[in-house]
Amino acid sequence: MEIIQSQIHNSRPAQFWNLLMTCYNKKLRQTRPEQLHNFIMAPLHSRVNGWSLPLHSFQLITLLLYSYLAVVGFGIYIPLLPTEWKYAAYGAIGIIFVHHLITHLVAVTIDPADRNILVEKNYAKPMPFFDRSKHKHVIQNQHCYLCEADIGPKTKHCITCNKCIANFDHHCNWLNNCVGSRNYWFFFNAVASAVAGNFLMIVVILYVFIQFFVDPAQLRTSPQFENFSKNGTWLAFLPIAPVEMTATGILAIAIFTVLLGGASFLMLGHLLLFHLYLLCKNMNTYEYMTQHRPKQSTESREMSEETASATTCRMEPLQDLSQVRKPDDATPSSVSA
């Protein structure tokens, strides 16, 4: 220890600080991908769809949020609406919620791979090594050397799914699946119905909240309230399984739900407007991100060439694996928006 301290003391201050800063250089601390000379190791197996393991935590969040809004909306607040509005809300919001659930599950379940991949690929078969000494890019002349199949002109190879996606748009963590031409409209319908369902549910809850202070009698029209007409007891889950609640509980849950639904509405609304813009421009998310990527240095561009992201979804194409996993570069990290 005395020898080390003596060396540090006797060395030039500039050299010492240069050495110290080098030790904390971020690039030197990053982990490189596993390499075998000119070979690059891809993940062993490809994913089939959004149910393939490992599942993403965002999937659980999505299902929990959907379940919470359905239980609170249909169990507490819609039953408190006046009779002439109650059944209209049940019908309209119920159809939207069912539509969202179906389109969401279909978007997760569909395999978005290129048609030739669906015909030729064996998902149980391990992926081959990619040999850069033989091929410069993973995809050349519309042939993928990892999937070992001819593919369409807009097909991209996704890192996460580890297969070629037909008309690749983006990889969505909320679906835990890629979005391509095979499931894009199910994804779009799921987003649109989620925005509409959130908006209508917020309107219903705000009406109940305001009416509670203006004229609470308009919220107590159900026959079950006749036994509680002289006290402040409120009922939830009418008319099937009435549960007594306090006025404070009704209001507190309303405030929390409006805040939660409002945040969800803003994020999903932004995503919906973005995809409406893309449809008007006749382009997909990947094309938009590659065209609007800010100018970067050559090294930075190589590091982020295949990891562009948009809104709540992650894009991970592998059109050119040599740009993503070069021996002198660090492993690119995925960016979620």
Residue 313 among the catalytic residues: no
Task: Tell me if 297 sits within 8 A of 117, measured CB to CB.
Answer: no
**What residue has token string 């249909």?**
74
CA distance 132 to 55: 32
CA distance 180 to 167: 5
Task: Tell me if 331 sits within 8 A of 303, measured CB to CB.
Answer: no
Catalytic residue (choose from 147, 172, 178, 313): 172
CA distance 50 to 176: 5
- Angle formed by the axes of helices 247-281 and 57-72, to 10°? 130
- Residues in Cβ contact with 201 at an 8 Å cutoff, skipping those fewer than 6 apart: 69, 73, 77, 93, 257, 261
Edge-to-edge order in the sheet of strand 177-179 = 177-179, 170-172, 313-314, 309-310
The torsion angle over the Cα atoms of residues 69, 71, 76 and 79, rounded to 10 degrees, is 100
Q: Minimal CA–CA distance to 308: which of 114, 158, 95? A: 158
Amino acid at 177: N
CA 97 vs CA 90, 164, 206, 256: distances in Å: 10, 32, 19, 20
Q: Which are the catalytic amino acids? A: 172
